[in-house]
Amino acid sequence: MKGLTVLGKIELPVDSSRRGGRRPVASSDVRKSGIGADKKKRQRIPTPGGGTVGQNQPGQQGQQGGNRTGGGRPDQQRGNNRPGQGNRNQPARPAVANTPEQNDKQIQEQIKATLAKLSGNSNNNSRGNRAKYRRDKRAGVAEATELQRQQNELDSKTLKVTEFISANDLASLMDASVNDVIKVCLSMGMFVSINQRLDAEAITVIADEFGYDVEFLSAEEEETEMEIVDDPEDLRDRAPIVTIMGHVDHGKTSLLDYIRDASVAKGEAGGITQHIGAYEVKTQSGKPVTFLDTPGHEAFTAMRARGAKVTDIAIIVVAADDSVMPQTKEAINHAQAAGVPIIIALNKIDKPGANPEKVREELSAINILVEEWGGKYQSQEVSAKTGIGIDDLLEKVLLEAELLELKANPDRNAVGTVIEASLDKGRGYVTTVLVQTGTLQVGDIVLAGPHYGRVKAMTDHRGKKMKKAGPATPVQVLGLTGAPQAGDKIVVMDTERDARELATQRQQLAREQSMRTKKHITLDEIGRRLAIGSFKELNVIVKGDVDGSVEALADSLLKLSTPEVAVNILNKGVGAISESDVLLASASDAIIIGFQVRPSQSARRLAEQEQIDIRLYSIIYNAINEVKDAMEGMLAPTVQEVTVATLEVRQVFNITKVGTIAGCMVTEGSVNRNTRVRVVRDGIVQYTGDVQALKRFKDDVSEVRQGYECGISIKGYNDLQEGDIIEGFEEKEIKRTL
């Protein structure tokens, strides 16, 4: 063994090591050069010439793989891998022994790795972009997470409460000790107990001390947050709810009478509608339509607004022989505010003086352009007496309803709106309800405002008994514990206990609000009354047959208040005038106004004993006007001066021990001894006083008329001159009006 025989040397390029990678090689080169990812070191095979065959040292691998065309002769390179030389009994070389499948797999992996490395080195820019994108994405996710965390923290720090909750409830909501809450109150100078109810200002300040924000809800809003969202598949078509609105005496009720073939107007006091009525009728095509009839008088603005709130379509009735009146404009405003389609019904076209074009012109002046004039509002000429055009009007209502695609889910707990409530002596509280979604059934437990109860019976507007009422159906419900306000939401509850708790909570809230908002007399108020000098207060108790009328009448009476005479509504309620009302009136020196109700026998006797004034009315105008007259009687009368005589001084006589006497001519009016006079010289008043003596010639007279001469002396004033004018005047008390 003499060692290695060096046949030649390969000179590698200098920058090949700097690039840090090999060029991609073809599979044929790999096979020729014997390069493999998992090849083991091959044993040296001695040759007769003393050399070695197939040298496969690591350095040479790198040289051959890295620079295939480098120095050295190709035949020498090929000779190193030439098979058949040396000992044939040696194991085969791994590069040759590997199967073609393994070879290809390894080669492809190596090519991929090399390409990735090369592209990474050459595209630094794109790698930077990818890194920036990943960095931005991570930052975005982190920011969104932080925002969500902050929102959750903010929500947890916001208390949703009703006003007048107790200190104990507030402490439990803030997860704090009630003693800490009381300490904060004491530090603010408020002495509170555990169960004392706090007003809005105190709740806000206390919550702020503990780091909470406060959002106030009304008692009704508490459960609205958990409203059920209906599945679109469960929705079914429902009847449209149509409100008939317009001015007084334009024929709204007569129109509805013709539609439903019933005479309602005859039963109304004074021929005007004073209640909201809800009626269901069927058109000729067999489709149901629900109508709401609202009063037109200005006192019922609130009632009309409630009528427009629950409606789908509004019919504005305008008399063709009249013009667009203030209440008509008001009704249009209510309908537009509620966002409901409007149909104009031009009524009374059969009357001789009817002029529909004039009405259309007046409507266009308030931006209500009808279709005949190229606008978007449908209009129909009708006659409520003869029935002209009413079928076409109903067709237009159904067309609007089709466009609205009105749907509701009948298979759920009912939700509706209270239209009206009254107290019936035999049946108890009767509530007119318009079901808006779901189905109301006899036996359901309902909650309406601060009142709850089980539905004992249901009737339609004609008094026919009903077992259940679906969406857009008006019904009269018996069984509530009180008369809810018109416009209150009525919902079916799952259990009586839940209904009772919510009703009790609302009653407490209403009681607290009425107590807190009751005005007590302050020093400023006493000072104001003293400055006026003759301040008076008219205490009134209002009782009516239905809640809507009571509300409208009370609002109208309150509007009559003046700085000198204030109307104070002590109590208002639904039902007959009772003994408790008379006792309250006696204690507070009030008058009782009954609207469509009468006092009981015992209440009447008690009122006679206590000398309490009970005024009973059937028409709202009369009630308002009489209260207005009573208030005018309480106003202090205005004192006004009236000139009754004018005297011209022609000559002046000075008489010893008597004084100055003016010889005068009465130019206007007549003067007597009791007339007060003022002396006017050159248009300036010199003196105002009383007549001391009045004479004609030597005789004392009681009166001197125009065109006669007289002598007159004035008490305490002797500086009379010729040419002075003496005016006689009287002070008259003139009754004031509101």
DSSP structure string for 88-157: TTSPPPHHHHS-HHHHHHHHHHHHHHHHHHHHHHH-HHHHHHHHHHHHHHHHHHHHHHHHHHHHHHHHHT
| Cα-based distances in Å from 150 to 107, 138, 155 | 54, 18, 9
Which class would CATH give 415-514?
mainly beta
In the chain, ranges of CATH 2.40.30.10 domains: 415-514, 638-734
Residue 602 main-chain phi, psi, to 5 deg: -65, -40
- Extract the tokens encoding 374: 């190229």
Nearest-CA neighbor of 345 among 259, 276, 283, 286? Answer: 259
DSSP state of 270: G
What does the pLDDT read at residue 91? Answer: 46
| Sheet of strand 590-595: strand arrangement | 565-574, 536-544, 590-595, 614-617
Which class would CATH give 519-634?
alpha beta
In the chain, ranges of CATH 3.40.50.10050 domains: 519-634
Q: Is 646 within 8 Å of 728 (Cβ atoms)?
A: yes
- Extract the tokens encoding 287: 């489709």
DSSP E strand stretches across 132-259? 158-161, 213-216, 236-237, 241-246
What does the pLDDT read at residue 519? Answer: 55
Give residue-wise pLDDT tens across range 19-40: 444 555 444 444 444 444 444 5
How far apart CA 431 and CA 418 sit, in angstroms, is 7
Helix axes 301-309, 326-338, angle to 10 degrees: 30
CATH fold of 638-734: Elongation Factor Tu (Ef-tu); domain 3 (2.40.30)
How far apart CA 125 and CA 538 sit, in angstroms, is 89
The angle subtended at Cα 29 by Cα 23 and Cα 31, nearest 5°, is: 130
How far apart CA 594 and CA 579 sit, in angstroms, is 14
In the chain, ranges of CATH 3.40.50.300 domains: 239-405
Provide the residue type at 416 as one letter. Answer: G
Query: Is residue 76 predicted with pLDDT exceeding 50?
Result: no
Give residue-wise pLDDT tens across range 84-116: 444 444 444 444 444 555 577 788 778 877 776
Report the mean per-residue pLDDT for the chain. Answer: 76
Nearest-CA neighbor of 170 among 121, 142, 205? Answer: 205
Give residue-wise pLDDT tens across range 246-288: 887 777 878 887 877 644 544 455 554 555 577 777 777 778 8
Provide the residue type at 28 as one letter. Answer: S
pLDDT band at 649 (very low <50, low <70, confident <90, very high): very high
Distance of CA 504 to the CA centre of its chain: 24
Q: What does the radius of gyration of the chain's CA atoms come to, in whole angstroms? A: 51
How far apart CA 405 and CA 402 sit, in angstroms, is 5
pTM score: 0.54
How far apart CA 436 and CA 412 sit, in angstroms, is 11
Nearest-CA neighbor of 602 among 584, 578, 581, 575? Answer: 578
What does the pLDDT read at residue 59? Answer: 42
Give residue-wise pLDDT tens across range 522-547: 566 666 666 666 667 888 899 988 88
CATH fold of 239-405: Rossmann fold (3.40.50)
